[in-house]
Amino acid sequence: MAKQKPRTLSGFMELLPAPQAQFERMVELMRQSYALYGFTPLDTPVIEASEVLLAKAGGETEKQIYRFNKGDSDLSLRFDLTVPLAKYVALHYAELSFPFRRFQIGKVYRGERAQRGRFREFYQADIDVIGDGKLDIVNEAEIPAIIYQTFTSLGLRRFQVHVNNRKVLSGFYAMLGLTEKSGDIMRVVDKLPKIGAEKVRELLTGDGLALSGEQADEILKFISITGSNNTVLSALKEYCGRHELFDQGLDELSAVVKYLGTFGVPEENFAVDLTIARGLDYYTGTVYETFMLDHPEIGSICSGGRYDNLAEYYTDKQLPGVGISIGLTRLFYVLQEQGYLNGALLTAPADVLVLPMTDDLSPAIALATALRGAGIRAQLYTEQKKFKQKMSYADKLGVPYILLLGEDEITQGKASLKDMRTGEQELLSAAEIIERIRLALAGSAAQAPIREPEN
């Protein structure tokens, strides 16, 4: 028979079992972190009607959409989890309670040019809090805590949540009489870490924006305000009283900073950063980006912000919200590339491999059944292979324990438990085996999927 060459499309991540287990562990911990803060899991379709999904989209995004016809229907694959959330909230508005807090971890699709580390199918892990008409500032103050909890639970330590407020920025530009240009200016300023201050000044005073040198200097002075949270807030207070929007933004920023410690975020994992704006006009208040301290070149690994109108394309209801998103597939790829995955994490499909050495398999099956009843992941290995091959199989899977059951063991009502890491072997009863494995696994269950390389 002619064979079809098996292949996986480029830009689509497909992992081998061990890294897949690490990926799953990351997803599990993210779900747990999000749930701790009272977010409910949602799952929306991957396919939506194009007219619904693309009500807002345009430009670059639209070109990347996977869009096609099936019968009479014009369909598209979701390209993020925000538009489906907007649709969901508008559609089910009457049945939801607000503030509505949901998380969704799911695949999204963008037909980007294939290149290393760029994915066309990738997971996003989003949380959003949606208010009905209003939404309290405390929701914005809580977000850095959720980011902190999430990455910490994954095992990441050296990262920092950067926070700014769009009202502070807009108010500042209004003071300079640059309100109409502020969107374009922010997009330029957003490039500061990549292109540097000089180049930013060039772009600001260049033909496009045509700011005066004075205006450009004011802007560069403003965005160069750095230091501890209190230093930055004090410097910003100097601008107070000149524009209402600025004052409001500074109040919000101060509230976010004020509750940080109470929310459990250490000061070193947080920074007020006047250079971040998030490109999108969508955001109206607090904005967030998160950086790995040792790999700023990767860019933000968790971003988001406050918006005033989630679902304006679907409903007249005013639905303000705040949300963040983690590009999980890319993050995993980067962690793998940078050697951040914890090689000691248990990724074997089973905690113990049961190897019967007799023709009658009943004692081995009974033992496996007892182990499973006690919550221990047990795999029976009954293939007709040489002992050496069986051991090599156990090695490759990375199972921490094997259990040998020969005539001797069966006669004594016991089994030989071999610790694959130490090589030690002991003759134990089923109850002893369960106790032993449970104890060992309780330790490994606490292991994080990320382990930062030591410097």
Which residues ranging from 148 to 207 are in contact with a copy of itself (CB under 8 A)? Answer: 149
Q: Which of 60, 238, 383, 454 binds a copy of itself (CB under 8 A)?
A: 383
Number of CB atoms found within 10 A of residue 404's CB: 20
Q: State yes or no: residue 48 binds a copy of itself (CB under 8 A).
A: yes
Q: Which two tokens stand for residue 189?
A: 């300023």
Minimum Å distance from CB 320 to a copy of itself? 11
Q: State yes or no: residue 430 binds a copy of itself (CB under 8 A).
A: no
Contacts of 445 (CB under 8 A, 6+ apart): none
Q: State yes or no: residue 333 binds a copy of itself (CB under 8 A).
A: no
Contact indicator for 99, 85 with CB cutoff of 8 Å = no
Minimum Å distance from CB 248 to a copy of itself? 16
**Looking at 105-113, 220-228, 244-252, 408-416, which segment touches a copy of itself (CB under 8 A)?**
105-113
Distance (Å, rounded) from C-alpha 383 to C-alpha 106? 38
Q: How many positions of this chain bind a copy of itself (CB under 8 A)?
A: 102
- Residue 278 is given by DSSP the state -
**Looking at 286-294, 344-352, 420-428, 442-450, which segment touches a copy of itself (CB under 8 A)?**
344-352
Query: Binders of a copy of itself among 291-330, rule CB under 8 A?
Result: 311-316
Minimum Å distance from CB 206 to a copy of itself? 34
Contact indicator for 12, 111 with CB cutoff of 8 Å = no
Phi, psi of 176 (to 5 degrees): -85, 5
Q: State yes or no: residue 397 binds a copy of itself (CB under 8 A).
A: yes
Specify the DSSP element, H or E, that contains 309: none
Q: Which of 61, 111, 233, 440 binds a copy of itself (CB under 8 A)?
A: 111
Minimum Å distance from CB 390 to a copy of itself? 11
Distance (Å, rounded) from C-alpha 24 to C-alpha 452? 19
Distance (Å, rounded) from C-alpha 205 to C-alpha 217? 10
Half-sphere exposure of 419 (CA within 13 A, CB side): 13
**Nearer Cβ to a copy of itself (75/233):** 75
**Looking at 97-105, 188-196, 234-242, 294-302, which segment touches a copy of itself (CB under 8 A)?**
97-105
Q: State yes or no: residue 74 binds a copy of itself (CB under 8 A).
A: no
Q: In one letter, which amino acid is 113?
A: R
Contact indicator for 98, 109 with CB cutoff of 8 Å = no
Q: Which of 226, 228, 362, 429 binds a copy of itself (CB under 8 A)?
A: 362
**Nearer Cβ to a copy of itself (315/338):** 315
**Nearer Cβ to a copy of itself (98/239):** 98
The strand pairing partners of 418, in sequence order, are 402, 425
Contacts of 318 (CB under 8 A, 6+ apart): 132, 133, 308, 309
